[in-house]
Structure 1
Amino acid sequence: MMGKTSTLNVNEINIIQKKNLYLLLTVVVIVGLIMLASYITEYNHIEGVLSIPAAASWMASNIWFSSSTLANLGSVMRLLWETILISIVSTTTAAVFAVVFALMGSKLTYINKPLMLAAKIIASISRNIPVVAWALILVISFGTNSMTGFLALFFGSFGFLVRAFVETIDEGSKDSVEALKATGATYWHTIFKAVLPGSMPQMFSWILFMIETNIRSATLVGLLTGTGIGYLFDLYYKQLNYEMVSLITLAIVLAVLVIEAISNIIRREIL
């Protein structure tokens, strides 16, 4: 008995030593990559850290806005509301298409292998092209307007939501799907009675998360497409009007915090 206990202790010690060795190697690799990146880009970490106080001092003296700047709050809120609406519409529209592609791409609900492969390839392409790149590509075709911003956010959301929905279906609906199949249920009966009801709360949570993300991304997209709050930010930034820039930034931050708080409340109710 003592011999078995000693063997177990030795094995546990060996496992811990291996984990510590892997952790040490991981840290060494990460530090090496940081040093290599610094050397290639000629970035000095020490100078970067030492410049923080000067940057903080400049921000403290330049980002405050006066009462005269608050007179423009109405236009800021109007364009911010437009940005939020575009984010919500693009995300919810992408979610509808994502559900269809997720059903085709899931191992539990796919119709045939070619369609499953096609759905995954389309979603992968959409997901791996950054939203900024989508905006630049679409500006060439549609110009600088709200449609360009909508489509850029749509394609960025679509690819991410397809993957999230596929994983949700595969993880959460397996038992119920197998039970219905055993009773001889049809494909569509399985989808509407087991897959969607079981997966919908988690899918809805992913949609809320994507809306939050798109509100942040929409500001950057607006810089490129000349729409929404991003356009206003870019306009005043180029004019070096830092008071308006700080007001716009504060409005964006508060909007994101409010949307995030609302999303968290909804998630707690549905999950």
Structure 2
Amino acid sequence: MNEKAMRSQRKWQTIIWVAIIIVFTYLASDITNFNIVHGIATLPNAITWIFSNLYVTPETFERLPKILEKLAETILMSIAATTTATVFSLFLGLMGSKTTGTSSILGVFARFVASVARNIPVVAWALILLLSFGQNSMTGYLALFVGSLGFLTRAFIETIDEASHSAVEALRATGSTYFQIVFKAVIPQCLPQLISWILFMIETNIRSATLVGILTGTGIGYSFDLYYKTLNYNAVALVTFTIVISVIIIELMSNRIRKVIL
């Protein structure tokens, strides 16, 4: 096939995919009774409402200490859920990896756990656990823990699979034990990437913890929900700004650490 024919084929493939997307968008809008034109037309009014209501007043700053306390609770809960999930994910990652796996049954089990925990959203886990544990910090922690477990296990398996097999084979040839191979060959190679995934998970959990907190009545999410339901939009604005600023600071710190370790 010459170059002209290939360009023509890619062109028609692009046209077909664009047409499919347009059809699915139209069907989705029709089924949900969503009017795209009306939605776009209301954007100016929505933006005007945001700037007219979501602003911080001097009186609102009196609530800042309590908001920061709830924000600290959310951040600490996110870090705790991520770090504890990391320990379990590391074991599951070693079990599920083709490089370090010792049993096909354990490998299937590890991948199954990762798939179930990862494919159910954190919000759904929060609702499921809410029925058993009620509205408290434990429910939010467990929801973040399960979500982190699924994501990190999958990430760890792929990271370990990408490790060089030459060092592993060399240690096996010298009669090294399983744990010697893991801690002398596999972990040192994967450590920078593993740390990067952990930092990414902490960032993600801090964002998710806000929504989880609305459901579980804990952390900064509870403050946001409380002020929103009482129509205290100035306090809502302050909560939103503190969340945004904290996420930006943590992301900058994570990026700095990644540059050092990678």
Give the alignment's TM-score, normalised by structure 1: 0.93
Q: RMSD between aligned alpha carbons? A: 1.2
Q: CA deviation at 1:180?
A: 2.8
Match of 2:113 in 1: 122
Q: CA deviation at 1:142?
A: 1.3
Q: CA deviation at 1:195?
A: 0.8
Alignment of 1:183-202 (within 5 A): 183-202=174-193
How far apart are the structure 2 equivalents of 1:187 and 1:161?
Answer: 22
Cα deviations across residues 151-204 of structure 1 (Å, max 9, x unaligned)? Answer: 000000000000001111111333332333344433222111111111111010
How far apart are the structure 2 equivalents of 1:257 and 1:141?
Answer: 34
Cα deviations across residues 108-163 of structure 1 (Å, max 9, x unaligned)? Answer: 11111111111111111111111111111111111111111110000000000000
Q: Secondary structure at the match of 1:68?
A: helix
How far apart are the structure 1 equivalents of 2:122 and 2:208?
Answer: 8
Match of 1:99 in 2: 90
- Aligned partner letter, 1:66: T
- Does the alignment pair 1:170 with 2:161? yes
Tell me which of 16, 33, 38 is aligned to 1:42: 33
- Aligned partner letter, 2:194: M
Q: CA deviation at 1:31?
A: 1.4
**Is 1:173–1:199's contact at 8 Å kept on the other side of the alignment?**
no
- Does the alignment pair 1:58 with 2:49? yes
Question: Greater Rg, structure 1 or structure 2?
Answer: 1
Aligned residues: 262
- Does the alignment pair 1:210 with 2:201? yes
Q: Which runs of 5+ in 2 are unaligned?
A: none
- Aligned partner letter, 2:190: S
How far apart are the structure 2 equivalents of 1:40 and 1:177?
Answer: 55
Q: Which runs of 5+ in 1 are unaligned?
A: 1-9
Cα deviations across residues 25-68 of structure 1 (Å, max 9, x unaligned)? Answer: 22121111111111111111111111110000011110112111
Q: Secondary structure at the match of 1:13?
A: helix
How far apart are the structure 1 equivalents of 2:114 and 2:226?
Answer: 34
Q: Secondary structure at the match of 2:147?
A: helix
Tell me which of 13, 20, 28 is aligned to 1:29: 20
Higher mean C-alpha displacement, 229-238 vs 24-33 = 24-33
Q: Secondary structure at the match of 1:29?
A: helix
Match of 1:267 in 2: 258
Alignment of 1:83-94 (within 5 A): 83-94=74-85
How far apart are the structure 2 equivalents of 1:42 and 1:175?
Answer: 58
Match of 1:18 in 2: 9
**Is 1:87–1:218's contact at 8 Å kept on the other side of the alignment?**
yes
Q: CA deviation at 1:17?
A: 2.8
Q: Which runs of 4+ in 1 moved over 4 A?
A: none
- Does the alignment pair 1:243 with 2:260? no
Give the alignment's TM-score, normalised by structure 2: 0.96
- Aligned partner letter, 2:166: D
